[in-house]
Amino acid sequence: MTNINTNFKEAISSEIFTVISKASKLLSIDSYVIGGFVRDFFLKRGSAKDIDIVAVGSGIELAEKVASLLSNKPKVQVFKTYGTAMLRYKDVEIEFVGARKESYSEESRNPEVSEGSLVDDQNRRDFTINALALSLNELNFGDLLDPFHGMYDLVNKNIKTPLDPDITYSDDPLRMMRAIRFATQLNFTIESNSLQAIAKNSDRLQIITRERVIDELHKILMSAKPSIGFLHLEATGLLSQILPELIDLKGVEEVEGQKHKDNFYHTLEVVDNISERTEDVWLRWAALLHDIGKAPTKKFSKKVGWTFHSHEFVGAKMVYKLFKRLKMPLNNKMKFVQKMVLLSSRPIVLASEVTDAAVRRLVFDAGNDINSLMTLCEADITTKNPKKFKRYHQNFELVRIKIKEVEERDRVRNFQPPISGEEIMKAFNLKPCKEIGQIKEAIKEAILDGKIPNEHQASYDFMLQKGKQLGLQVQ
């Protein structure tokens, strides 16, 4: 076991580390910066948003002493249950914890905790690359403590657990999600023993709250190439527990020599494509779920081959159930994903014949989300035929131009009827009745079909005409 490899004072040159070192000396305790801050320093991943400090003694006492030495005397948040404390310093969250040993029970990921040494604390870390520590003590300030050869794994791009992976993942199954998340974010390889242990312990994910699982899934989805993570999730059996709807898309059936594409791998391609175009996590969710209605609607017809009729409609309904099960927000974010799934095929159909009326209806239905919808549809082009690829993109460009033209001329985005219900009631001397709704709907349809312009006078004249057809008398 190597304890001290070399010194990296430059990593901890910021004032805050000098203050922590001073506070440690005053309290006669050892302290270390550990985990993500150290890992990201070596990976050159930019400035840290949070820093973890381990004290061989009371982390809470150390935090309070640090706060008293800082000029702005920041407020210390104490979490007695966990024996941790946190303060903010120049927009960075610094968490202090006493070094500890952990022991786990079968039913929970919350361990029994007792005081321990730095080595005990490093033993309980999830991965070797997160067990790296830098000393903040006066005698060896900046020395690297790397008992599990985390530097070797950083250089070789390995995700590896410090102790037996089977025990590590069984103790805290959230670490399985974290392993896949780090592999996706950093483009690292999960070593084979770890992968086998994840597959073996995949059922243990059930003891983790849905919120924690989804938090990790979001981080996978927000990485540069999410398919890396989803392929790992699928291969280890974790995906079938989180999103069985995606697993249902996997596989290709053949009947009478006719096949359909594998919609699972197609979906992952679409997610990777859209990740190059947007940072919007909910649009990425829409890409992930845009085809989930295909599994329950898949049918084979001798005349046309494989069909997925109304898969967008079915998929949009499935989004609600899925979000509810995973304890995700059921507000406008869910409704946005539903809308994207429901409309996901419309621009594709439109691209073959771009008519004003069809574009008008698309803009009306999509509203302010029209650009997001077009981004999704362009990401949905996964053909490997370069001629087809080019043609589809050119067609979508025509649709975008037409959307702009129609929008400027007809103003149907977030459509407001030019004629109000009150005007209709006044014109025909009516009390509230179904005919008012019928007239308003007829005006909207006439505008969308291009029969009349989106203007008050034209709509008023149309209203009079429609009223007569319904047997109403102009007053």
Q: Are residues 11 and 143 in the same domain?
A: yes
The pLDDT of residue 65:
95
The pLDDT of residue 3:
47
Count of structural domains within the chain: 3
Half-sphere exposure of 43 (CA within 13 A, CB side): 25
Residue 38 CB contacts under 8 Å (≥ 6 apart), including other chains: 11, 132, 133, 134, 144
- For 459, the domain range is 421-469
Residue 394 lies in a domain: no
Q: Which long-range contacts (CB under 8 A, 24 or more apart) does 20-23 make?
A: 20/53, 20/62, 20/66, 20/136, 21/136, 21/137, 21/138, 21/141, 22/69, 23/62, 23/65, 23/66, 23/69
Q: Are residues 31 and 127 in the same domain?
A: yes
Residue 206 lies in a domain: yes
Residue 234 lies in a domain: yes
User: Each residue's pLDDT tens digit in the chain (475 positions)?
Assistant: 444 458 999 999 999 999 999 999 999 999 999 999 999 999 998 778 899 999 998 999 999 999 999 988 999 999 887 789 999 998 899 999 988 765 556 666 565 555 677 887 888 889 999 999 999 999 999 999 999 999 999 999 999 999 999 989 998 999 999 999 999 999 999 999 999 999 999 999 999 999 999 999 999 999 999 999 999 999 999 999 999 999 999 876 666 556 667 889 999 999 999 999 999 999 999 999 999 998 888 777 777 776 677 788 899 999 999 999 999 999 999 999 999 999 988 877 776 677 778 888 888 888 889 999 999 999 988 888 888 888 888 888 888 888 888 877 767 776 788 889 899 999 998 888 998 999 998 998 898 888 888 889 999 999 999 998 988 888 7
Residue 397 lies in a domain: no
Q: Are residues 146 and 9 in the same domain?
A: yes
Residue 285 CB contacts under 8 Å (≥ 6 apart), including other chains: 221, 337
> For the whole prediction, is pTM greater than 0.75?
yes
Q: Are residues 43 and 178 in the same domain?
A: no
- CATH number, domain of 10, equals 3.30.460.10
Residue 52 lies in a domain: yes
Half-sphere exposure of 442 (CA within 13 A, CB side): 21
Q: Which of 153, 177, 198 is the last residue of a domain?
A: 153
Q: Which of 185, 207, 242 is the last residue of a domain?
A: 242
Q: Are residues 213 and 137 in the same domain?
A: no
Quickly count: other Cβ atoms within 10 Å of residue 346's Cβ: 18
Q: Which of 242, 272, 289 is the last residue of a domain?
A: 242
